[in-house]
Structure 1
Amino acid sequence: MDFASFQSEAFGDLQRLVDALYLGRNEVDRLDVVVQAELQDLDRDLIEIVDLLPPGRYSRQRLCDQLNSALAAHGWGGTYGTVE
């Protein structure tokens, strides 16, 4: 089995979270991201990624950069997808 190409059932969930967070907003707080991730009942691994965010306010691009960096560091980009 090729684990490098394994996609989780949660693939794309982080992208849906980001899309929902920025409806009608240009910036979000870390707390907004954490609370919405919990409310959307994201996969435990994805909650771990969100919990790694440093405190602060995030433009969409900055949030995506932070999340993608954490996904890459864990080697989970192919499993859960990256965000834009």
Structure 2
Amino acid sequence: MDMASFRAESYGELQSLVDGLYATRTVVDRLDLVMQAEVLDLDADLQEIVSLLPPGSYERQRLCDQLNSAIAAHGWGGVYGTVE
């Protein structure tokens, strides 16, 4: 199967994680993101993407930019989706 057309079973889960975290707040701490990814038992690749974030607090757009950059660097946009 061509990886360009492959979508992982966990496609879109990172978007759901971001949506959930920002449902009630405007700033999210990296530690909250990492812990929630573990609680939700995200795919190991997605947990790796989350763990690549530098420590700090993130407004949604900055977090999405950081996550999408890591996703693109791994070539996983089509496999796991990007976030907005």
TM-score normalised by L of structure 1: 0.98
Which 4+ runs in 1 deviate beyond 2 A? Answer: none
- 5+ residue gaps, structure 1, are none
Deviations 1:11-50 (A, max 9, x none): 0000000000001100010000000000010000000000
Question: What is aligned with 2:3?
Answer: 3
Question: What is aligned with 1:75?
Answer: 75
- 5+ residue gaps, structure 2, are none
* 1:53-68 matched pairs, under 5 angstroms: 53-68=53-68
User: How many residue pairs align between the two structures?
Assistant: 84
Shift of 1:5: 1.2
Q: Identity, % of aligned pairs? A: 73
Question: What is aligned with 2:46?
Answer: 46
Shift of 1:8: 0.1
Alignment RMSD, CA only? 0.5
TM-score normalised by L of structure 2: 0.98
